[in-house]
Amino acid sequence: MASSVYLCLLRAVFLVCFVNPLIQGLSEDESVFQNPHHQQEENLTGLPIVTFKWHHVETPYLVIIWVFVAGLAKLSVVELNHHVISVVPESGLLIILGFILGGIVWGADRAQTFKLLPPTFFYYLLPQIILDASYFMPNKLFFSNLGAILIYAIFGTCWNAATVGLSLWGCYEAGVMGNLDIGLLQFLLFGSLIAAVDPVAVIAVFEEVHVNEVLFILVFGESLLNDGVTVVLYNVFDAFVALGGPRIDAAEIFKGIFSFVVVAFGGSFLGIGFAILLSLLTRCTKHIQIIEAGFVFVVGYLAYLTAEMLSLSAILSITFCGICCQKYVNANMDEKSVTTVRHAMKLLANGSETMIFLFLGVTAIDTEIWVWNTGFILLTLLFVFIYRIIGTFLFTWMLNKFRLVPIEVIDQVVMSYGGLRGAVAYGLAALLDEDKIPEKNLMISTTLIVVYFTVILQGITMKPLVQWLKVKRAAHSDLKLIEKLNNRAFDHILAAVEDICGRIGDNWWTRGWNRFEENYISWLLMKPKARKNRDYLFSIFHKLNLEDAINYVSEGERQGSLAFSRSDEAANVDFKKQFGSEFADVMPNIMVDMSNYELGIEHFSVTSIVKDTIPSVSLDIHGQDRKNAMDDINAHHLLQQHLYRSRKHHRHKYSRSHFSINQNEDEVQEIFQRTMRSRLESFKSTKMGVNPAKKITKHHKKELTHKMPNGHPDGTGHLYGDEVDIAVGSETGAINSTFMRDTYTVGAGIENPVFLPDMDSPTHSPPWLMETEAVAPSQRAQRRLPWTPNRLRRLAPMRISTCSTDSFLMADVSLTLEEHEEHSQTDHVEMRPVFD
């Protein structure tokens, strides 16, 4: 561990040492750069085979080298001794590492060649961080605490700016700072730039602390919005400074306040406008899926730049763009694009965050900017700290009068202590105009010290403080679904009780908004198909299902193949010999193909939850496998019959706009048809009326639903399978029961290939196959408690096998004959689409 860190450091050091003299050496020779051709003619007599063209690539090269170094820095910080990392937050470590790197650069150049320049920061590093923060904002939490957040962000920031500025000015007048060339307005300007809590620093620290969600959203939301507010305040005071003291009258002040409002709200509305644009755009990007993810970034950045152009608040603009678009964008875009966006967003944000902290460190190693004024610096630190606390308590006290759940004193302490200043303050300080503010360098160095102090010291002490104060932590629960259900129920209950009391309160507004949103906004901004299944509960459920499916598949693969090991020894061996390697390749492909196919057709409609996450192809194979084995047909034959050999040549095709998987409709079609044919055959041959019921989708054009016919004559068959499937044909919950079987005898009874037992029997006799063959669909599939409570005998073994991630829940159900009859009414096999 440690050695890798040193290695990384060494490498970084080496790079910097190597690159910098190089730049220096070359850039000194300006004339060479000016006339490269001239030089070439002079030095070279013939055709050069290779030339060293540093200047051609200098700028991008340097940029990329620094990005690389930042990446290495992050790597080394993360890989660092875990003891250190648990004490010092990452942001602090990066800054310290920046000091070192800066020292090296300075040592090589005798000047700081690399600095965090405000344009770089504001145009290239900040936007994606803000976009990321807002795009992943927990919206419900944010909006339900919006009032408090706005109070803190707007009034809190103004309070901080005003009090720090005024107090410093007071102290200056009292003569504490000696002789400085600063007036009241400059102090206020300084106060405004130092006022804002920085989202980058706050997220970096609070992410590691895991405080409770309300506290987190208050601090986080505040830091996000007050950045916008600070920039606006800064601009107003900057304008005042430019105007000069004597020319400011009441009208100008009024204009300043007015401009504050316009800039802040204008920016927010602009962001909402862009969010609408983005949502509308993603409605119609179905055919350019591969680039639709890009729109999120482009439009977000556009929102930022447009606001900047209109001198509105760019930060607020991009914030609201991200917050408002997330829901619709996520629903409209293809799931893969959503994943792309998420990852790319995190990548960009994390990258720039690393760069920012690193450069905050590097920048400090520069003799030019350091101007020391003990009084000014220490007093700033003191005031920043104290007024943050006073402000927080003051505004919380006011808020608590209205809040249903008061913010506790402990939370207030953490909030005040979490007032970390960061790169925004530095960026604004570096933006100051030296002509107007003679003491610019003093302000920069003070800002830097405040930043270091808050990020490093407060960052380090934050965790112990949170522990010591016993701040309520974020509850971590693995009960995802039930929690959501309960939350949903809560919302309705609270709204209902408010209705009964005849009170128009929070819940009334929330519900009214939800209804409006559902009826009009979603209609406008969402694809109709996306609207159908955007329910939150459903998406959670869907996600869990997917997770399980992935687990299941990977588990299967880890164990060699997806459960092709069967109890039938001979077949197994045969299979292993002949298809061992081939199969491993083919199988996943098919699975991907099938699932894509299905998803593609359904467009992720509700059915996909119900859809067993195990693709039907593979399952069917097993079903067939199993039965045929009973008839002594070997696996070889089976595979030939049922496995579609993936046409591999498609996979090597390069396409810029598509991933090659599943692009060939014929291929998919063929797989599908084969599968269906074999199903039909098995159906006929066994006369057991077994059909894989895959979907419940009544709403599809292509109905893949196969009822679960259930005509086992002697009534001893144990129907088992996906209950939802059966539900298609039945009316009441009672019938919809399902059942994993247990006293299942091979070859008898009804099988739903979906749940074929040997699906999950990767070894010859896995533990759960001992007495009976067990069914192992994916975890989530099992989690549809497969029984009818009425007939529930027991909720049988919650088996968690050691070699499978699947936990088992099987109910022992002996279905009565009546049920079978009921089912048999729906005993027809629907295979229409298959043979079309």
Partner 1 sequence: MGASQSGPVHMFQDLAYKTGFSIEQIKNLHNRFIYLTQAEDTLRREHLENVSDLALNPIRRQIIEAFFDKRNMGEKEKGCLQEIGFEEFVTVLSFFRPPKPHTADEEMKNIKKEKLRFLFNMHDTDNDGIITLDEYRRVVEELLSSYEIMGAETAKAITDAAMLEVASVTVGQMGPDEFYEGITFEQFMQILKDVEIETKMNIHFWNLDTRTVQCGK
With respect to partner 1, which residue has the nearer C-beta, 607 or 624?
A: 607
Q: 79 — alpha (psi -120 to 50), left (phi > 0) or beta?
A: alpha
With respect to partner 1, which residue has the nearer C-beta, 539 or 824?
A: 539
Buried b or exposed e, range 36-72, using 16+ CB within 10 angstroms? eeeeeeeeeeeeeeeeeeebeeeeeeeeebbeebbbb
Contact 421, 202 (CB under 8 A): no
With respect to partner 1, which residue has the nearer C-beta, 108 or 696?
A: 696
With respect to partner 1, which residue has the nearer C-beta, 476 or 649?
A: 476
- Minimum Å gap between C-beta 783 and partner 1 is 4
- Minimum Å gap between C-beta 610 and partner 1 is 6
- Minimum Å gap between C-beta 719 and partner 1 is 16
With respect to partner 1, which residue has the nearer C-beta, 298 or 800?
A: 800
- Minimum Å gap between C-beta 563 and partner 1 is 22
Contact 618, 590 (CB under 8 A): yes
With respect to partner 1, which residue has the nearer C-beta, 321 or 724?
A: 724
Cα end-to-end span (Å), the chain? 60
- Minimum Å gap between C-beta 599 and partner 1 is 16
DSSP state of 151: I
CA distance 240 to 62: 38
- Minimum Å gap between C-beta 506 and partner 1 is 7
CA distance 188 to 193: 9
Residue with token string 């099992």: 782
With respect to partner 1, which residue has the nearer C-beta, 401 or 652?
A: 401
With respect to partner 1, which residue has the nearer C-beta, 421 or 695?
A: 695
Helix ranges, 454-613 (H): 459-469, 480-501, 506-516, 522-525, 528-532, 536-558, 569-602, 607-610
With respect to partner 1, which residue has the nearer C-beta, 658 or 793?
A: 793
- Minimum Å gap between C-beta 798 and partner 1 is 4
CA distance 772 to 783: 20
- CA distances (Å), origin 340, targets 330, 334, 346, 592, 735: 11, 10, 10, 18, 42
DSSP state of 562: S
Among 580, 160, 128, smallest CA distance to 341 is for 128
CA distance 642 to 579: 13
Interior CA angle at 541 toward 535 and 546, to 5°? 125
- Minimum Å gap between C-beta 672 and partner 1 is 23
Give one DSSP letter per residue of 483-516, joined into a string: HHHHHHHHHHHHHHHHHHHT---HHHHHHHHHHH
With respect to partner 1, which residue has the nearer C-beta, 24 or 539?
A: 539
**CB-count burial class (<10 Å; 0-12, 13-18, 19+) for 833:** middle
Can you name the residues that pair with 211 across neighbouring β-strands? 473
CA distance 560 to 553: 11
DSSP state of 286: G
Give one DSSP letter per residue of 204-267, joined into a string: HHHHHH-B-HHHHHHHHHHHHHHHHHHHHHHHHHHHHHHH-GGG--HHHHHHHHHHHHHHHHHH
Contact 191, 163 (CB under 8 A): yes
DSSP state of 475: P
With respect to partner 1, which residue has the nearer C-beta, 147 or 178?
A: 147
- Minimum Å gap between C-beta 267 and partner 1 is 24
CA distance 776 to 407: 48
Other beta carbons within 10 Å of 342: 16
- Minimum Å gap between C-beta 225 and partner 1 is 18
- Minimum Å gap between C-beta 4 and partner 1 is 38
With respect to partner 1, which residue has the nearer C-beta, 90 or 411?
A: 411
With respect to partner 1, which residue has the nearer C-beta, 11 or 472?
A: 472
With respect to partner 1, which residue has the nearer C-beta, 19 or 785?
A: 785
Q: Which two tokens stand for residue 595?
A: 């699932």
- Minimum Å gap between C-beta 399 and partner 1 is 9
Distance of CA 576 to the CA centre of its chain: 41
With respect to partner 1, which residue has the nearer C-beta, 273 or 505?
A: 505
- Minimum Å gap between C-beta 152 and partner 1 is 15
- Minimum Å gap between C-beta 445 and partner 1 is 43
DSSP state of 790: G
- Minimum Å gap between C-beta 805 and partner 1 is 13
- Minimum Å gap between C-beta 808 and partner 1 is 10
With respect to partner 1, which residue has the nearer C-beta, 621 or 810?
A: 810
CA distance 570 to 572: 5
Q: Collapsing DSSP states into helix, strand and coil, what is residue 796?
A: strand
Contact 330, 543 (CB under 8 A): no
